Amino acid sequence: MFPVGLYLLALVGGAVISAASLPLWRRWCEHVGLLDEPGHRKIHKHPVPLAGGLAVVTGLAVPILAVAAWAWLGPLPESFDRVVTYGLAKRGWQLAAILGGAVAMLALGILDDRRDLSAKWKFVGQVLIALAVAASGIRVTVFVESPLFSYAATVLWILTVTNAVNFQDNMNGLCAGLGLVGGWFFAWHAGLEGQYLVASLAFLFTGALAGFLPFNFPRGGVFLGDGGSHVVGFLLAVLAILPDFYSAASQQKWLVLAPLLVLAVPLADLVSVILIRRRLGQAVWVGDNNHFSHRLVRRGQTKPRAVLILLLIAAAIGAATFLN
């Protein structure tokens, strides 16, 4: 049975908890000085709390921990019991690795927000987190039966997507919006393949971002920060690995490309920006104003409209992954 009630609960629960926790995290950020100060390449005139990542992780973690505790302490409602109990038994350690990885990415990003880490140390931290996820059994195989290949491909994939999405944190609503679009499509792919726990996790992630977005778009009262953009990128990378996009029964091998299509906008932007920076002789990790969003603004679009255009493109490409 398709657990629509579970998906709706995950989606709404993630949104409500994320939105409810955000004002608390905003005050905490103001108290400890976790703020994005006006300055180089920034147009806001006042410090903005970097509370978005904390709220998103709260919207993700609280429901997961609550359901796990409920399943351990007592019986779940019959309609949820088979899906949740079986899923936790089969993927419990992987779920713990995902949640732990999200918290670690959040901490790494917050450390960068506070101390402006060098690219080398950020890279080391990302690699260690990606290796931990791969060790939990969440790995890319792409028809190659080699542990060494799967570890290398998984780490490369997580690093690429995490940084591609991190690059999108350049206009209000863009990074979180792309995360919401990607999470939505990954959720339905998993659900249609009968991977109900994976789908529930993706809907929960989508809901957590939906709870944050009204605080960020279009006015930018709160930012994701490097911590939040790391979390969004990391979770999109993992959610792209978890569903079985191709099976022998389907005989549609092109479906292995579905994650690339769902994430086409941030991945294409990453490639474009790297090529431009290399051509100009700039370091690829140093920010500039050559992202798709910036180029749309230079062509006369307002920033909110540029963001909406890119989200619409991402949604259209993602929808194409359901075509037979």
Over residues 9-24, the pLDDT tens digits come to 999 999 999 999 999 9
Residue with tokens 């806001």: 44
Euclidean distance between CA atoms 206 and 200, whole angstroms: 10
Digit-coded pLDDT (tens) for 188-212: 999 888 888 889 999 999 999 999 9
Asked if residue 206 lies in contact with residue 11, where contact means CB atoms within 8 angstroms, the answer is yes
* Per-residue pLDDT band at 168 (split at 50, 70, 90): very high
Q: What is the mean pLDDT of residues 135-162?
A: 89
Query: For all residues of the chain together, what is the average pLDDT?
Result: 88
Mutual angle of helices 147-167 and 225-241, in 10-degree steps: 140
- Return the higher-pLDDT residue of 90 and 213: 213
Q: What percent of the chain shows pLDDT beyond 90?
A: 65
pLDDT at 91: 74
pLDDT at 40: 59
Q: State both tokens at 307.
A: 């963001």
Euclidean distance between CA atoms 88 and 90, whole angstroms: 5
pTM as predicted: 0.92
Which residues, in sequence order, are bridge partners of residue 202? Answer: none
Q: Which residues contact 173 (CB under 8 A, 6 or more apart)?
A: 213, 216, 217, 218, 304, 307, 311
Least confident of 134-143, 185-194, 242-251, 270-279: 242-251
pLDDT at 109: 95
pLDDT at 250: 47
Which whole-number Å values give the CA distances from 38 to 76, 206, 293, in the listed order?
49, 30, 20
Q: What is the mean pLDDT of residues 130-138?
A: 93
DSSP code of residue 69: H
